[in-house]
Amino acid sequence: MSKTIPVVKDIMDANAQLAAQVRAKLDEAGVLALNLMASPGAGKTSVIIRTIEALKDEIRLAAIDGDVAAIDVERIAETGIPVTQINTGGSCHLDANMLWSALPSVDLESTELLLVENVGNLICPASFPLGTHYSVVIASVPEGDDKPYKYPTMFKGADVLLLNKVDMLAYEPFDVEYFRRGVEALNPGVAFFPISCRTGEGFDAWLDWVRAAVGRAVRDDDRRGRG
Amino acid sequence: MSKTIPVVKDIMDANAQLAAQVRAKLDEAGVLALNLMASPGAGKTSVIIRTIEALKDEIRLAAIDGDVAAIDVERIAETGIPVTQINTGGSCHLDANMLWSALPSVDLESTELLLVENVGNLICPASFPLGTHYSVVIASVPEGDDKPYKYPTMFKGADVLLLNKVDMLAYEPFDVEYFRRGVEALNPGVAFFPISCRTGEGFDAWLDWVRAAVGRAVRDDDRRGRG
């Protein structure tokens, strides 16, 4: 067993190193990148598409879609923004190496906001930082209000938490206060937006957060002398 | 890279060997074991609890609950049947070694049906056979009708497929025929039961399947001279 631990550490070190490389390349180009993570069916692709539709006329967008099988990428491509597919070949998460390898397919100089859709999984993606600027975790009402208690690492690492499908609160025994207490215990003060991709409820606040984050990235970029 | 492949093969070989050991031990004791797999929030624990409540007076039951954090085990224990917790220590799936290590905690001689709850994940659990007799995959309506297309390995390997939360079909844009076509393309003729843990709809057919499977296991056991 003692031989296993150094190997895992090597993998994590290599991932961290590549994540730093990804971040440097994004920062050099003035691109803000979000890593969107969720369970299967929580609505990652729907959040991405609704976000693109709302922002594509004011922010230059691109997307990278990671999945074990490619069907979401076609839905995203229909929005008209450039999208790159990462097929993980069965792996249950993206890692920094996959993102690093996909970056040459993205026209970074023409992009202000890069949306990276991770693989549908509440466990492993949390352990593989990609070099993106913010981790956006999407929970959804039908999954149940116990998810922060059962998948603590994912909720602990979130910079932003979206609770999707709030239009289903009328039909589901979901206790929003219990959910929030679980989140706050792990990640006090995390940005929290209840939303519904179906009705659009709550999207304005989330879009304002995205606009502000992109604005900060652009200002940083201006300070470095580009723009 | 060429050194990675043999390592993965070794892991898979070791898992297959331990799974065979688990199976032999279960068969020797005349225990039928089910491996229940699903996304987070699809209703694994609810299916297990409702199944236990319906069958505990006619079948001797035990459960093993695998999770990254322990909260479902308490809900299962409330049914009064013996339950063992496997904490995967962050791993996103059970493997045969974890189940093998947990078996001494189960009184196999007093058990006819062992329900094994895998970690909430639609990807990796499909790649790690445990030595259980049947793989039961639970999908749920709010996750969306595209799941067989996106997570083919899981649906391909199912012996039984439960579609949970069918009470939500009234509120969700879920095309049951599209879902079934995806399943049938991967796994023709798989046993399929639409159910609702909330209303009990469809449970009778699923329970009949369980009774029949336990009956077959008991008859096999009788033929081997125990009973």
Q: What is the mean pLDDT of the segment spanning B140-149?
A: 96
CB contact under 8 A, A150 and B123: no
CB contact under 8 A, B142 and A149: no
Give the C-alpha separation, B186 to B191, whole Å. 13
pLDDT value for B8: 61
CB contact under 8 A, A144 and B41: yes
Chain B: residue whose CA lies nearest to A170: B171
Question: In CATH, what number is assigned to the domain containing residue B80?
Answer: 3.40.50.300
Q: Does residue B53 lie in a domain region?
A: yes
pTM of the model: 0.90
Confidence of residue B206 (pLDDT cuts 50, 70, 90): very high
Q: Does residue A167 lie in a domain region?
A: yes
Give the other-Cβ count within 10 Å of B176's Cβ: 13
Domain assignment of residue A63, given as a range? 4-222
Q: Does residue B227 lie in a domain region?
A: no
Profile chain A (227 residues) by mean pLDDT over runs of 10 residues: 54 90 96 97 96 97 88 88 91 95 96 97 95 98 96 96 97 96 96 97 98 87 58
pLDDT value for A225: 54
pLDDT value for B192: 97
pLDDT value for B219: 75
At residue B4, does pLDDT exceed 60? no
Give the other-Cβ count within 10 Å of A2's Cβ: 5
At residue B3, does pLDDT exceed 50? no
**Number of Cβ pairs < 8 A linking chain A and chain B:** 100
Confidence of residue B224 (pLDDT cuts 50, 70, 90): low
Q: Does residue A178 lie in a domain region?
A: yes
CB contact under 8 A, B119 and A123: yes
Q: Which of A40, A119, A124 has the CB atom closest to B147's CB atom?
A: A40
Structural domain total, chain B = 1
Give the minimum alpha-carbon distance from A140 to chain B in angstroms, rounded to a whole number. 9
Q: Does residue B191 lie in a domain region?
A: yes
Confidence of residue B74 (pLDDT cuts 50, 70, 90): confident
pLDDT value for A4: 47
Chain B residues near residue A149 by CB distance under 8 angstroms:
69, 71
Q: Does residue A227 lie in a domain region?
A: no
CB contact under 8 A, A90 and B153: yes
At residue B137, does pLDDT exceed 80? yes
CB contact under 8 A, B123 and A68: yes
pLDDT value for A7: 61
Which SS3 state, helix, strand or coil, does residue A87 take? strand
Chain B residues near residue A124 by CB distance under 8 angstroms:
92, 124
Q: Does residue A125 lie in a domain region?
A: yes
CB contact under 8 A, B150 and A124: no
Q: Which of B72, B121, B127 has the CB atom closest to A123's CB atom?
A: B121
DSSP state of A26: H
At residue B18, does pLDDT exceed 70? yes
At residue B225, does pLDDT exceed 70? no
Task: Identify the H or E element spanning A161.
Answer: strand A160-164
Measured CA to CA in angstroms, residue B83 lies from A54, B52, B114, B133 at distances of 49, 11, 10, 19
Q: Does residue A184 lie in a domain region?
A: yes
CB contact under 8 A, B90 and A146: no
Chain A residues near residue B123 by CB distance under 8 angstroms:
68, 90, 92, 119-121
What is the DSSP annotation of chain B? Answer: -TTHHHHHHHHHHHHHHHHHHHHHHHHHHT-EEEEEEE-TTSSHHHHHHHHHHHHTTTS-EEEEEEESS-SHHHHHHTTTS-EEEEE-TT-SS--HHHHHHHGGGS-GGG-SEEEEE--S-SSGGGG---S-SEEEEEEEGGG-TTHHHHSHHHHHT-SEEEEE-GGGGGTS---HHHHHHHHHHHSTT-EEEE--TTT-TTHHHHHHHHHHHHHHHHHHHHHTT--
